[in-house]
Structure 1
Amino acid sequence: MAKPHRPLLSAVINLSSVLLDLMYVGFSSSTGSFLTSHYVLGWSFKMNGVAQALDPSLLPSLPRAKSNHKFKVLRIGLPLASATLVLTIVGIAVFILRRRTKYSELLEDWELEYGPHRFSYKDLFKAAKGFRDTELLGRGGFGRVYKGVLPSSRSEVAIKRVSHGSRQGMREFIAEIVSLGRLRHRNLVQLLGYCRRQGELLLVYDYMPNGSLEKFLHDQAKPTLDWATRFRIIKGVASGLLYLHEDWEQVVIHRDIKASNVLLDNELNGRLGDFGLARLYDHGTDPQTTHVVGTMGYLAPELARTGKATTITDVFAFGTFLLEVACGRRPVDPTAHEEQLVLLDWVVEKWRKGSILETRDPRLGEEYAVEEVELVLKLGLLCSHPLPTARPSMRQVVRYLEGHAPLPELSPAYLNFSLLALLHKEGFDDHIMSCPSSSVATASVLSGGR
């Protein structure tokens, strides 16, 4: 064929510095490990001008190479080698593509400012050994939690995988997650950071070797926690919740306080964890959350009407938590007798009859402090009162638990909690809601017991 417009190899070289008056122009070639032949079928050369173009039709035919064994090997082996090379390249490309897909994650420009709080999915995947079931610590309505060991620091972590179907509000949510990472309290599980991948969000926490308090309360295979340990856990969680509500730079509403979210460290100290549903707002401002989330049995009754989570709705959940720890029963137990179906109603009824201590966890035996158990049970009822103004703040709760203030004397009343909640729902308690002091409301609406 004629010389192509874009030859594979073409170079312009100035030879004026090496040309002599008399010189030869020729060709050279070399052979390799295979038998080869080189032919010059035609050539055109001209000094001080453009060489005449060659006419391919006038050139002689390429001589046929002699058949030999080495040539057959070359003729058969070369295509095979080429095919193998192509398949290898394709395989490597597929492997890289699958690997990138396997570890792909969502990362937008605005997340770059959160650098230290953003984990790579690849690291978390390796830490949890591919999220195998063998690494599963627990599962709930909002996702699964896996144990992991970070490859860089070799530190143990808990990785919670939750789904997020919409990007709406994701920027604000991530900002809150990163803010929560700055929380520092001995009774809070440290939120280390997060990762986003496709349709899921991964939250990374400190690993708590003894798991959740729920297992010790309701799993018969676990050893029974003595009262001293339970009381220490209660005071620790109360201290952590006070820090969230009043002592940190912002107000943090946890929105999911329950025994399964209280984790135990090596020394069985209680730490409140799982801040995946938490919301933040500045001190002195009004929270705007309108989406009801949480766990049945821990939800304050006013949430059904207003949808607004506040510190006082956290107090309600903490009150239910107190009853759960002291009684060793779930807030709602479908397998229990009818009178014990709802833990709060059962404890209230026993309270009205003057036998509130009968609700304590029977597994405690007789090894417990009567005054402390009675305090926790009554404080649980006080915190779980259906009227928001009747509930104490967490600062008051801590004072009661530490013995720095006596629990208010609870006067007899003829209404039970369920009826109060119904009246509150129908709007009959507006005069109670307007009381300026929660202590006044407490003294006026709570029934008492011994």
Structure 2
Amino acid sequence: MSMASMSSAIFFITISLLVSSLLSATIVEDLNNLRPPPDFNTTIFNNCLNNPSLKYCNSSPMDLNEIFKSTIVASHLCNESKNPNCVETFPKIDLRNRPKITPLYLSFNFFWKYCPLTIMSIDLSNNSLKGIFPSDVLLCNQIQNLDLSFNHFSGDIPLLNFSYLSNLTNLNLSYNHFSELKISDSNLFQRFNSSSFIHSGLLPSHQNYTIKTIILLVGFPLFVVLSVGCLGWLCFARPDFLPRVLNRNHKFTTWMLKAATDGFLKKNLVMKNVGVSIYKGVLRDGTKVKIEIYRDNVSRENLRKFVEECKILVQMRHKNLVQVLGWCSNRRMRSLVTEWTDGENIELWLAGSAPSWKHRLKILIGVVESMFYMQEQWPQVGYDLSTSSVLLSDHLEPLISRFKIGDRRSNYTANYIYKFGLLLLEMIANRRPSEEFERGEAGFIEYIRMHYPGNLRVVIDERMKLTENTFDQAKLGIGLGLMCTDQKAGKIPSLDEIYHMIVKVYRSCLVFTSENYKGSHSHGNAGQGHKGIQLR
């Protein structure tokens, strides 16, 4: 035996004598308190001179305390592994079924850092060890066998560290709980067969694979069916949830109308007659609407005609027409959806607010403008022109609200001229022909003619408080109304003539109003206290 070997042997024997007393106390505390003997540095130097491949020989800087502790642990591990000659050889660490001491030795990272080169096998199986993979063990990169089976290790395994174990031929990680890896992702699975990873968690289990396959084969088609079903329901029931591009323009569904009216709640019911209900609703985009619902069974042909009529109505655009937004059509319920107007109709407006002559003229101009639009753009569309059907917007703009498709007659123009004349006379007189006269419209017109032109003070609405000039304007208005309603005369004014006459009177009224306003302020400044004409 060489001098280096003898020194090493003497050293290891000395250390062995210390082990029994070392383990009787708290090993960690004792290791921290131990210091290398005086000649330890010389022993290490001689060992490295004899065998430069020793791990501590290549460490820089060389930590003598760590090397000393590692040597003590190595000596004890040699005994624990029941090796016959712990001084000459140390081929295997065998801590199988040693759950009380195995975690302790795993914690000595300085040992694994300087583990003896003679160790070729490490067996830590069947210890119920928990936690992550003990990566320090792989610092003994000369090993040929590693067994960590029958433990409770979890998490990922250090694949990169395994690449340095070129001598490793036998590996057993079975019966652990590592994170699943794809075989194709690492060459570790190509070096060892599947018996190295039985129930390790690294390989997909057959049961998990079966479950995933069932989920894929059953769940995915089910997901597709549900998705298609939901999309179909949205398309046919609630297209207002879809992007605007996918919406069916102007076509409403029963579901959409239910949502707009909170399920047709009674509080949203505005009016109900035989076969017709009118609701106030709010669309999903916040638009307030009026929904006219016709609950009657119609033939397929009549339903088709209704839809064709609605397709025409939604195209009409004018500031003096109530905008038709769309329709809903099925055999049991037909609906027409229009914009909502908070204003009242002309009949209620005349009765309640006592509007001025100027404001009445402005309403008449809007009505004539809408008549022009309908005559030129939509001659096939009929409309109702009466004080009860013409609504007023928030800005006191007249809005024709009732339409009828395909009601064109031979005397189309004359009929609407007559209706306008009657509307004009009603607005000047503020009378209700159907309620106040036995013969209705005919009786009302006859009543006006009886007092025209000499006794019109009786006819004209006295609440307007007309001046001499505005009275003459109202007189011209009555004359125009009588001309429009005189169907027997054979000569009625055209829409163009009516429009220019009404506009001329309105502008004249504005001039008189301005002059009276200036005169009132002038007298007031002079201290005379004169009150001008009140225009409402």
Normalised to the residue count of structure 1, the TM-score between the two structures is 0.51
Report whether the alignment pairs 1:392 with 2:493. Answer: yes
Assess, with a 3 A threshold, how the Cα gap between structure 1 residues 340 and 314 changes in structure 2: closer, same or farther: closer
Q: What does 1:30-429 align with in structure 2 at a 5 Å threshold?
A: 115-138=248-271, 143-150=276-283, 152-162=284-294, 165-167=297-299, 168-218=301-351, 222-246=352-376, 248=377, 250-275=378-403, 277-279=404-406, 287=408, 310-333=412-435, 335=436, 342-351=443-452, 354-366=454-466, 369-387=470-488, 389-403=490-504
- For these two proteins, the number of residue pairs brought into alignment is 263
- Cα deviation, residue 359, structure 1: 1.2
Residue 343 of structure 2 aligns to a residue in which SS? Answer: coil
Kept after mapping to 2: 8 A contact 1:332/1:342? no
Structure 1's unaligned 5+ residue stretches are: 1-99, 105-113, 281-286, 290-307, 406-450
Cα gap change, 1:317 to 1:170, in 2 (>3 Å):
farther
User: In percent, how many aligned pairs have the same letter?
Assistant: 25
| Deviation of the 1:312 alpha carbon | 2.1
Separation of aligned partners in 2, 1:172 and 1:309 = 24
Q: Classify the secondary structure of the residue corresponding to 1:266.
A: coil
Q: How far off is 1:165 after superposition?
A: 4.7
Q: Is the 8 A contact 2:307 2:329 kept in 1?
A: no
Residue-by-residue CA offset, 1:61-85 (whole Å, 9 max, x unaligned):
xxxxxxxxxxxxxxxxxxxxxxxxx
Asked if structure 2 preserves the Cα contact closer than 8 Å seen for 1:357 and 1:374, the reply is no
Distance change in 2, residues 1:203/1:348 (3 Å): same
Moved more, 379-388 or 316-325: 379-388
Per-residue deviation at 1:234? 1.0
Q: Shift of residue 157 of structure 1?
A: 1.2
Aligned 8 A contact 2:297 2:331 in 1: no
Q: Larger helix proportion, structure 1 or 2?
A: 2
Query: Which of these two proteins has the greater Rg computed from alpha carbons?
Result: 2
Could you tell me how far 1:176 is from its partner in structure 2? 2.5
Paired residue secondary structure (2:479): helix
CA RMSD of aligned residues (A): 3.5
Q: Is the 8 A contact 1:161 1:203 kept in 2?
A: yes
**3-state SS of the aligned residue for 1:257?**
coil
Q: Deviations over 1:128-159 (max 9, x none)?
A: 33444433445678844322111x21111112
Higher relative contact order (CA 8 A, sep 6+): 1
Instruction: Measure, in 1, the Cα distance between the counterparts of 2:345 and 2:405.
Output: 19
Q: Retained in 1: the 8 A contact 2:433–2:440?
A: no
2-structure distance, mates of 1:309, 1:138: 34
- Following superposition, the deviation at residue 209 of structure 1 comes to 1.5
Give the partner amino acid of 2:293: R
Unaligned runs of 5+ in 2: 1-232, 238-246, 507-536
Q: Counterparts of 1:323 and 1:157 in 2: how far apart (Å)?
A: 32
CA distance 1:388–1:130, shift in 2 (3 Å): farther
Normalization by structure 2: what TM-score? 0.44
Structure 1 residue 255, shift from structure 2 partner: 4.0
Moved more, 372-381 or 256-265: 372-381
